[in-house]
Amino acid sequence: MDNKITSIERKITGEPTIVKGTIEENCVFENTIMGGYGTLIIDKEFIDDMASIAQSLTFSNSFIDLFSQVCNKVSDYYTSNQKNELQREETYNQNVVVDEEGMIIGTKISSLKGKNISKCSEKSVAAYIIFKYLFDNNKITRLPSLVLSKLGVFDSEKREPHAFMTFEKESDNYPTKYLLFDIENPTEIADDSGKKYLVPGLYSLTDEEQESIEIGNQCSPTSLFELIGKFHEIGAKRIYGSIIKTKKM
């Protein structure tokens, strides 16, 4: 049975919030991902816009191409050539919605279209709605999830709030079981000759790594591009989750 999601909130315990279900019109996204400000209202206009994007996608034999299309179309939605003189928090505050008693209830996410301020939270919820639409309409067979967790890199203890997606495993031609999709952070890879490419942040997850994601343990998955071609990831290795798994005595 498909869950109807009317509110999304980050947990202060450090455990991840995992969304599986249909995000309903006017779902409230408590966006503490940005340091306590910026509650999002997932309004009908935005949901309809994401459905239109989903319907515009083309399908080929390449599953990876689908992720590239979503990256590009979500980026196009949130960006424009018009310069936004306001900072991120100011843009949120300028577009707030108030109730009949004058209380601020949040900012409609559709009002951020073309404002050039989107980060992982806005991009990930957009991608999630798109992929959930595709799943519900039998265009893809991997069930998507939206994950609010943390992100860091090797050689640093700093972990920042982060939003990304995972996909359930299935039997297919890719050397992977689960997938992790980080729309905010493309991956830089290089081939054997040293030529560099910027590709979608798409990772293979083993069963153990998927379990780590679900409970918030740290894991550093392998780029899917390392598994399907003669490429290797360059740059700082990313770590998802914030809890250091302790060994059993």
Angle between helices 63-78 and 44-56 (to 10 degrees): 140
Per-residue pLDDT of the chain (249 residues), as tens digits, is: 689 999 998 887 778 999 999 999 999 998 654 444 578 999 999 999 999 999 999 988 788 899 999 999 999 999 998 887 788 888 888 888 888 888 888 899 999 999 999 999 999 999 999 999 999 999 998 999 999 999 999 888 888 889 999 999 876 555 558 999 999 999 999 998 999 999 999 999 999 999 999 999 999 999 999 887 789 999 889 999 976 554 433
pLDDT at 248: 39
Cβ atoms of 182 and 241 within 8 Å: the answer is: no
Query: pLDDT for 177-228, tens place per residue?
Result: 899 999 999 999 999 899 999 999 999 999 999 999 999 999 999 999 988 7
Model pLDDT, residue 85: 75
User: Is residue 104 a contact partner of residue 98, using CB atoms and an 8 Å limit?
Assistant: yes
CA distance 235 to 9: 32
Q: Within a domain: residue 245?
A: no
pLDDT of residue 88: 84
pLDDT recorded at residue 35: 45
Amino acid at 32: T
Residue 165 lies in a domain: yes
Q: Is residue 125 part of a domain?
A: yes
**Token reading at 226:** 């390392």
Residue 232 domain-assigned (yes or no): yes
Indicate left, alpha or beta for 75 from its phi (over 0: left) and psi (-120 to 50: alpha): alpha
Q: What is the pLDDT of residue 99?
A: 83
pLDDT score for 227? 85
Query: Residue 112 has what DSSP assignment?
Result: G
Which residues fall within 8 angstroms of residue 147, CB to CB, at 6 or more apart? 16, 17, 18, 19, 163, 164, 165, 166, 213
What local confidence, expressed as pLDDT, does residue 186 receive?
Answer: 95
In a domain, 246, yes or no: no
Give the per-residue pLDDT at 37: 59
pLDDT at 245: 52
**What is the number of structural domains in the chain?**
1
Is residue 248 in some structural domain?
Answer: no
**Looking at the domain assignment, is residue 234 inside a domain?**
yes
Does a structural domain hold residue 217? yes
Query: Which distant-in-sequence residues (6+ apart) come within 8 Å of 201 by Cβ?
Result: 164, 180, 181, 182, 183, 184, 185, 186, 187
Domain that holds residue 96: 4-240
